Structure 1
Amino acid sequence: MILGAVLVAGGLLVAAALLWLRRDRRYQSSESVAEAYDAWTDDRLLERLWGEHVHLGHYGNPPGARDFRRAKEAFVHELVRWSGLDQLPAGSTLLDVGCGIGGSARILARDYGFDVLGISISPAQVQRATELTPDGLTCRFAVMDALALDCQDRSFDAVWSVEAGPHMPDKQRYADELLRVLRPGGCLAVADWNRRDPSDGAMSRKERWVMRQLLNQWAHPEFASIKGFQTNLDVSTYHLSAVETADWTESTLPSWIESIAEGIKRPGAVLGLGPFAVLQGLRETPTLLLMHWAFASGLMQFGVFRLKR
């Protein structure tokens, strides 16, 4: 019995390692990003493990112990306060760019009274976000490309985007689109995974290898640096005011290990989906560990950006 269990576990580990080494999620186009998120949404593994929020959590400054799912909700409120969105009146229109399955959008609508449009390039995410949203909440979702927003100029009081930038092959166009749809007096709130700026030190051989894995495993064409994306916002044709940034790496760092620990704390969430879900969970673990190392070592930084037009 024990030998059989060991053999099964060993087989799953080998299969997961082979899947990870295939790197079949390399960025090729916007379609490859959509396909990756469709798959992650349809298998329900991330939702079962992490709840309604795919983004990182906020653990305070300095970080302290906090439930993983509550940390994700706390992140939304921290970004709202830091960016000044809490100063906008109820009924303000907000565009959530890269909305996932709508966790943040629902909090923004429920707790702050915003009229939210969440967009994703993944049809599966939009469908699931719609299913999870209760009737009466001022929150809706649509399939849309963040680099070609089907929205009029200056049509939103606030624009919100969390951890979407790494999927954008053209960072300047991404910045331009975020600002194009923002009304005068409106607020922009962006949070992203950012690489260390080249001016702060070239990557070592080890770091280059890690960076390649972080790009290939999760359909990322490239990471911007905090300085780089701040420049993208500053030089945009639609820019009207100073961009402020901050580094939230320390406050969000526990998320990477906690995201793995959720599989141990909630084994039924994985096992209930069958052997393939276990295999998928094991496949994601090396990338999550590399992300933790990259953020802990300074190769990556968690940047937040705000401005008021």
Structure 2
Amino acid sequence: MLASGVLLASLLVAAVLIWLRRDRRYQSSESVASAYDAWTDDRLLERLWGEHVHLGHYGDPPASRDFRRAKEAFVHELIRWSGLDQLPPGSKLIDVGCGIGGSARILARDYGFDVLGISISPVQVRRATELTPEGLSCRFAVMDALELDCPNHSFDAVWSVEAGPHMPDKQRYADELLRVLRPGGHLAVADWNRRDPSDGEMNRRERWVMRQLLNQWAHPEFASIKGFQTNLDVSDHHQSVVETADWTSATLPSWIDSIAEGVRRPGAVLGLGPSAVLQGLRETPTLLLMHWAFATGLMQFGVFRLKR
């Protein structure tokens, strides 16, 4: 027991030291692709969190819920809130920043949509394709969200979850989402957003936390909810009034659950070897900082739709 405790403490110290020295700051779209290639290849996130590399929805007020079920619930909640459930089966949808395809498969399987999932990471696209059953109307392609290789107005719905923080040009991101959406189509965007400067400038502690949140996970910048709403509203492809909501409360338990999954499913980590244990510990400080930032109002979880 003593030996295992010493080993765990040693791993934790090593993980923190690596975290303090590590710099994954955004350099280019290639640096984002490389980060997601690595995270997908090592399978740690998939083994711990399942097919959905995004936050869960726990209700408002939040209630106890299995982490993986909360992730699936998030998809259905966003579908209902954005009005995608009003679209008929066969509607064409693009999932911008599809990860390993968890949301795309639900959209195709449960709602009958014809889904194209895109990611800048070739390894994510390969894994998403491997996980998708034959016969499901769901395919994946490597594509840059800032330069979608799709004609104007080619989709009935556009879906994008937690992709915006990786976009260096938020206006271009908004423009591309709306460019490929047909007139009268449905938009569903959910993202990690910073507090708007008009609601209070960051203090010294918050600036340090923000630097970590950006640099640890290859984010060039976070938009605020107000800021990205403006990006959508002023786009040359603007279609109608953009409505927003703040889902911070409903998604907040996800951060601690992200860490707790390693305790609940120890075999998922241990089965990948000692390096996976170290990696899991290494990501823990950033997850805790994310929880703190969302709990204190430095960050907000924003959702965006076109006026229904």
| TM-score bracket, shorter-length normalisation | over 0.9
Question: What is the TM-score when the length of structure 1 is the normalising length?
Answer: 0.98
- Find the counterpart in structure 1 of residue 229 from structure 2: 230
Task: Kindly indicate whether the alpha-carbon contact (under 8 Å) linking 1:97 and 1:120 is maintained by their aligned counterparts in 2.
Answer: yes
Please give the alpha-carbon distance, in whole angstroms, between the structure 1 residues aligned to 2:210 and 2:79: 30
Gaps in structure 2 of 5+ consecutive residues: none
Residue number in structure 2 paired with 1:217: 216
Q: Percent identity at matched positions?
A: 86
Mapped partners of 2:17, 2:306: distance in 1? 44
What do residues 239-259 of structure 1 show as CA deviations (whole Å, max 9, x unaligned)?
020000000000000000011
Task: Give secondary structure in 2 for the equivalent of 1:101.
Answer: coil
Task: State the one-letter code of the partner of 1:10.
Answer: A
The answer to whether the 8 Å contact 1:185/1:308 transfers is: no
**In the TM superposition, what is the alpha-carbon distance from 1:14 to its structure 2 partner?**
2.3
- SS state at 1:303 partner: strand
3-state SS, counterpart of residue 284 of structure 1: helix
Moved over 6 A (4+): none
Superposed CA deviations along residues 255-286 of structure 1, whole A, max 9, x for unmatched, are 00011110000000000000000001001100
Aligned equivalents of 1:74, 1:30: Cα separation in 2: 30
Once the two structures are TM-superposed, the CA of residue 308 in structure 1 deviates from its matched residue by 5.6
CA shift for structure 1 position 3: 4.3
Report the aligned-residue RMSD. Answer: 1.0
The answer to whether 1:305 aligns with 2:304 is: yes
CA contact (8 A) 1:186 1:308 kept: no
Tell me, what secondary structure is at the counterpart of 2:55? Answer: coil
Give the Cα separation in 2 of the matches to 1:280 and 1:23: 12
Q: Deviations over 1:88-110 (max 9, x none)?
A: 00000000000000000000000
| Counterparts of residues 61-140 of structure 1 (less than 5 Å) | 61-140=60-139
- 1:149 equivalent to 2:151? Answer no
* Structure 1 residue 25, shift from structure 2 partner: 1.2
Determine the C-alpha separation between the residues in 1 that align with 2:14 and 2:165.
Answer: 28
**Cα contact 2:184–2:239 (8 A) shared by 1:** no
**Partners in 2 of 1:25 and 1:142 — Cα distance?**
25
Is the partner of 1:150 in helix, strand or coil? coil
Using the alignment, how far apart are the partners of 1:289 and 1:3 within structure 2?
A: 27
Q: How many residues align?
A: 308
**Alpha-carbon distance in 2 for matches of 1:274, 1:75:** 31
Q: In the aligned structure 2, how far is the partner of 1:61 from the partner of 1:7?
A: 41
For 1:14 and 1:169, locate their aligned partners in 2 and report how far apart those are by CA, in whole Å. Answer: 33
CA contact (8 A) 1:188 1:308 kept: no
SS at match of 2:184: strand
